[in-house]
Amino acid sequence: MGRKYFGTDGVRGRVGQHPMTVEFALRLASAAGRVLAPDGGAVLVGKDTRLSGYMFESALEAGFVAAGVNVLMAGPLPTPGIAYMLKALRCDFGAVISASHNAYEDNGIKFFDRDGSKLPDELEEAIEAYLDEPALTRDSVHLGRATRVDKQRTLYQDFCASTLPSGIDLRGFKIVIDCANGAAYKVAPRVLSDLGADIIPIGCSPNGRNINEGCGSTQPELLRLTVTGVRAHAGIALDGDGDRLVMVDHLGRIVDGDQLMYVLARVRHDTGGLKGPVVGTVMSNLGLELALRDLGIDFRRAQVGDRYVLQMMREEGGVLGGETSGHLLCLDKTTTGDGLVAALQVLAAMRLSGKSLAELAAGMPKFPQKLLNVRVDERFDAGAHPRVRAAVEEVERSMGGRGRVVLRPSGTEPVIRVMVEGEEEDVVAGHAAALAEIVRAAAG
């Protein structure tokens, strides 16, 4: 049937514009309750720090209670925290109000099943099937109840700390933690501090409008300056809902999701804890693939989107995967991407090896990438066009196996993304420009 409202990470959009309205959120809660808890049950609801989170929280509460579902309201908490706590509190499903790394003018709603995993397409389609119906209100005797469980966030904090190897703490580490003025602003500093780290918090003063503004994993410049300014061992940048991680080494250099995957894969490989292939995406840096190959580690590429990475990991029996953006999945620790848990695994690697983050990441060369967007009037399969296909084959042949080309349509705008990757930046840029012109001519 296909999904009309759900994207790769729930329903998302500009606040006040369909579908991110109070009326839609009410119907969405009603529909989700009917699908995920048809005989009653409980849902855990969390949110990030956006001003609009208050009204969507109230709308979801009303819709769930009217549908006969008990609501446990956790307040601001990272998305992976909701995924963990809903299992600990034995809820039937979870709901998170967040637009992740987007600006505060946007918001979104996503769901987790009782196991703390994102919903499969078929369940999202089942929820959408009810969205054209009025919100359900059960008889008074069957209505749900709403309860605040804000103080239960310590369950998640304790869980995060428990993911460190036995006997390992963070004493002696000076860490800058940037929470993007988002959902992790309380729990992340407390976890790091409780483990003994000397922390310098930034991006931990949300006002409802400053989430992801000049801070966090998408804008880590302030983190870079702070790490070098205070001579910290490393910096940690999360995004608005706490499921992405980008780090900064002691030299002020950004360490992205691909490099962090390399660090975690190598540690697990050396200790015998790596199972199955490491899974990235078609946009993962070629340097990651080649560095893992040198270690004898299998690497696979999924579609862009952490849900597709997770799907391939489960199919292939892998425990480690992620995206360049910092969505890192450690399935031996969690059921979903968790920026704080991933950061703790990297810090543990630093502690156990006695090496800096810069030294650990040095084994993976980053190949230059050039990404160009070609605007098109209508969607078409660029890779199947004869002239485009021939040009791609010629470019890849000229790079002798040390480069690659990716063509893919954007999921949100009418453009074809042309990405070329190779060892020499000037050569890569030239190939990308030439291919973009060929794609533009083919689209015309």
Domain residues of the chain, as ranges?
Answer: 11-151, 173-254, 256-341+349-366, 369-443
Mean pLDDT value of segment 34-46? 97
Mean pLDDT value of segment 267-293? 95
Question: For residue 381, what are its two tokens?
Answer: 């399969």
Give residue 412's pLDDT: 62
The amino acid present at 123, given as its one-letter code, is L
DSSP 354: T
Confidence of residue 380 (pLDDT cuts 50, 70, 90): confident
Confidence of residue 411 (pLDDT cuts 50, 70, 90): low
pTM tops 0.75, yes or no = yes
Mean pLDDT value of segment 173-191? 98
Give residue 42's pLDDT: 98
Give residue 2's pLDDT: 64
Full strand arrangement of the beta sheet holding 320-322: 299-302, 278-281, 320-322, 328-330
Residue % of the chain over a pLDDT of 90: 91
Looking at the structure, give the CATH architecture of the domain made up of residues 369-443: 2-Layer Sandwich (3.30)
* CA 185 – CA 163 distance, rounded (Å): 20
Residue for token pair 């840096």: 285
Question: For residue 442, what are its two tokens?
Answer: 């083919």
pLDDT mean across residues, the chain: 95
Mean pLDDT value of segment 238-259? 98
* CA 372 – CA 362 distance, rounded (Å): 28
Query: Is the confidence at residue 1, as pLDDT, over 70?
Result: no
CATH 3.40.120.10 for domain 11-151: yes
Residue % of the chain over a pLDDT of 70: 99
Give residue 7's pLDDT: 86
Query: Is the confidence at residue 221, as pLDDT, over 70?
Result: yes
- ∠ CA 266-361-167, nearest 5°, is 60
The amino acid present at 176, given as its one-letter code, is V
Query: Is the confidence at residue 67, as pLDDT, over 60?
Result: yes
Question: For residue 81, what are its two tokens?
Answer: 């925290």
Residues ≥6 apart with Cβ < 8 Å to 230: 174, 176, 200
Give residue 365's pLDDT: 93
Which of the two residues, 400 and 58, has the higher pLDDT score?
A: 58
Question: For residue 315, what are its two tokens?
Answer: 């199919």
Give residue 202's pLDDT: 98
Query: Is the confidence at residue 191, as pLDDT, over 70?
Result: yes
Mean pLDDT value of segment 38-46? 96
Q: Coil, strand, or helix at residue 312? A: helix
Check if the beta carbon of residue 216 is closer than 8 Å to that of residue 325.
no
Check if the beta carbon of residue 63 is closer than 8 Å to that of residue 109.
no
Give CATH for domain 173-254: 3.40.120.10
Name the CATH superfamily for 256-341+349-366: Alpha-D-Glucose-1,6-Bisphosphate, subunit A, domain 3 (3.40.120.10)
Residues marked as catalytic: 100
Give residue 443's pLDDT: 86
- Do domains 256-341+349-366 and 369-443 share one topology? The answer is no
Check if the beta carbon of residue 302 is closer than 8 Å to that of residue 281.
yes
